[in-house]
Amino acid sequence: MFQARNWQKALELYEDLKSLKLVQTVSVVNALITALCKCYGDQFQKAMEVLSEMKGLGLCPNSVTYSMLLVASEKYDDLEAGQMLLSQAKKDSVVPNLIMCRCTIGDSLGMCLRRFERACFLGEPVVYFNSGRPQVDNKWTSLALMVYPETIRAGEMPTSEISSQILGCLQLPHDTSLQDRLTENLGVSDDDSRSSNLYSLIDGFGAYDSRAFSLLEEAASIGIVPSVSFKVSPTVADTKQFHSFTAEIGSTG
């Protein structure tokens, strides 16, 4: 109904429909949101306003509504808006689809890396040791870990690329102090012959939050990635068919 290139005319028509007090439908409002999100100018905030108006009209946003808005939030690098949209979608009982999952995990992965760089500069921790084990702890990783399983439960099968991205959100930072803490918790001293081998392993492949291994096994069990078991020794996997983070974990498993 509304063309993305003619968002101004689409907005005028929408206002005319409102002034005539005609009954609006979800599909009509979604069409306007799509036009605003896909236009060449920055009309993302206006699309967000239309979402609020939509609720005021008593209409229930659906997966199409939130998918378009999340794609736009990623396009304009508005991570806070993306987080708010996902939270609102959950309140509206909208089950995440593959587009929503891809946007969320993509945002979270980038934010994880930027968050760590900023934390290093400010001296803030992003990794905590619970029961002696290192665990990535920031809101962007938590958000990605929330959306990923919800998408699977909804019957949407994430791609192997998305699976690799979620694993990337659990990669421990390459940081000397963190390496020292890891070896300390493993009971390896600097003069121990095992120390140099362990540091070489961490530097070569990176270390991961233990939840990454469970996620990889789950992805293999439902066919997202080729089957790999860490419960047998030695672990054998052809990492050439994996995406980067999946390959790293497959190599260190």
User: Are 16 and 41 within 8 A, CB to CB?
Assistant: no
Is the pLDDT at 47 greater than 90? The verdict is yes
For residue 216 the two structure tokens come to 């990889």
Average of per-residue pLDDT values in the chain: 77
The pLDDT-based confidence of 40 (bands split at 50, 70, 90) is low
Kindly calculate the radius of gyration of the chain based on its CA atoms and give it in whole angstroms. 22
* Mean pLDDT computed over 223-230: 73
Take residue 123 and report the two structure tokens written for it.
């001296």
Rounded to two decimals, the pTM is 0.68
Averaged pLDDT for residues 1-25: 71
Q: CA separation (Å) from 193 to 10, 76, 174, 190?
A: 70, 50, 22, 8
Does the pLDDT at position 201 exceed 60? no
Are residues 89 and 100 in contact, defined by beta-carbon separation less than 8 angstroms? yes
Q: Is the pLDDT of residue 92 over 70?
A: yes
62 confidence band (pLDDT: 50, 70, 90):
very high
Report the pLDDT averaged over residues 230-235: 59
Q: What is the pLDDT of residue 199?
A: 47
Structure tokens at 150: 């919800």
Using the predicted structure, report yes or no on whether residue 3 has a pLDDT greater than 60: no
pLDDT value of position 64: 94
Lowest mean pLDDT among 63-72, 76-85, 187-196, 231-240: 187-196
Q: Which of 53-62, 109-118, 162-171 is predicted with the least confidence, judged by mean pLDDT?
A: 109-118
* Residue carrying structure tokens 């939840």: 211
What is the Cβ-side half-sphere exposure of residue 215, based on CA atoms within 13 angstroms? 26
- Provide the 3-class DSSP secondary structure of residue 25: coil
Question: Residue 249's closest CA among 219, 150, 84?
Answer: 219
Closest among 188, 108, 92, 194 to 146, alpha carbons compared:
108
